[in-house]
């Protein structure tokens, strides 16, 4: 995909389309970043207390995912990825036919999210009682990421809607984070060995 590309030309193209900056400078955006960071911190704490095995691995992966999503929320890395893809498509001459590639990418992303969530359910099947809220939270956050990636217009208009002056996208994204945090707090409050 990246053969025969001029790095300097690509860099110029990408940074013409995307500039590093704060992706969501609103109060809700910063509160969501804080919620991701809190989930990351709590998940790392649970990792330290969890028994070795699947549960510890699960919480380590949750911590890494929450840390990445916190960074992505404000660095707007998906826009950087989009800019790179556009520049590659233009440089290689297939920009006019990009819809097929976009469709395949979105299908792959959705399949990956679904596979990760199904794998988490399968691997944690004997630990669902202790970790079910976190898995439900991951389903909500994964669903939110998938909806944003697909960006269907009727979903976008729904996500821009409000409930008591709070956008639905903030409610959906943060609902998952609340569930993850509650599950982590529950596990941290339990005495070790129970």
Mean model confidence pLDDT for the chain: 82
Find the mean pLDDT for residues 119-135: 88
Find the mean pLDDT for residues 145-168: 62
pLDDT of residue 163: 63
Highest mean pLDDT among 37-46, 84-93, 170-179: 37-46
Of 60, 1, 72, 28, nearest in space to 162 by CA: 28
| Separation of alpha carbons 84 and 14, rounded Å | 6
| Separation of alpha carbons 66 and 90, rounded Å | 33
Residue 22 above 80 pLDDT? no
Find the mean pLDDT for residues 74-102: 80
- Cα radius of gyration rounded to whole Å, the chain: 19
For the ranges 66-80, 126-140, 161-175, which has the lowest average pLDDT?
A: 161-175
| Separation of alpha carbons 182 and 171, rounded Å | 16
| Separation of alpha carbons 144 and 141, rounded Å | 5
pLDDT of residue 153: 44
Task: Tell me the percentage of the chain whose pLDDT exceeds 90.
Answer: 28
Greater model confidence, 49 or 154: 49
Helix (H) or strand (E) holding 104: helix 98-123
Find the mean pLDDT for residues 174-181: 95
- Compute the residue count for the chain: 194
| Separation of alpha carbons 38 and 124, rounded Å | 23
pLDDT of residue 28: 81
pLDDT of residue 164: 63
Greater model confidence, 60 or 173: 60
> Which tokens in the block code for residue 22?
């704060």
| Separation of alpha carbons 119 and 43, rounded Å | 19
pLDDT of residue 104: 84
> Which tokens in the block code for residue 81?
């990825």
- pTM, two decimals, is 0.77
Find the mean pLDDT for residues 159-187: 82
Task: Tell me the percentage of the chain whose pLDDT exceeds 70.
Answer: 86
pLDDT of residue 156: 55
| DSSP notation for 129-143 | HHHHHHHHHHHHHHH
């Amino acid at each position: 995909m990246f053969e025969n590309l001029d790095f300097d030309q690509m860099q110029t193209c990408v940074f013409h389309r995307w500039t590093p900056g704060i992706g969501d400078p609103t109060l809700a955006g910063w509160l969501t970043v804080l919620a991701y960071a809190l989930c990351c911190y709590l998940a790392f704490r649970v990792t330290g207390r969890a028994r070795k095995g699947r549960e510890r691995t699960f919480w380590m992966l949750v911590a890494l995912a929450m840390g990445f999503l916190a960074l992505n929320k404000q660095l707007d890395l998906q826009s950087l990825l989009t800019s790179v893809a556009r520049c590659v498509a233009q440089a290689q001459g297939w920009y006019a036919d990009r819809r097929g590639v976009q469709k395949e990418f979105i299908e792959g992303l959705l399949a990956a999210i679904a596979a990760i969530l199904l794998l988490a359910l399968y691997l944690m099947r004997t630990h669902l009682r202790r970790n079910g809220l976190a898995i439900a939270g991951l389903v909500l956050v994964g669903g939110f990421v998938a909806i944003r990636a697909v960006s269907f217009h009727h979903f976008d208009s729904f996500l821009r809607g409000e409930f008591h002056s709070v956008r639905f996208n903030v409610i959906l994204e943060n609902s998952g984070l609340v569930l993850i945090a509650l599950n982590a707090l529950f596990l941290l409050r339990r005495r070790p060995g129970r």
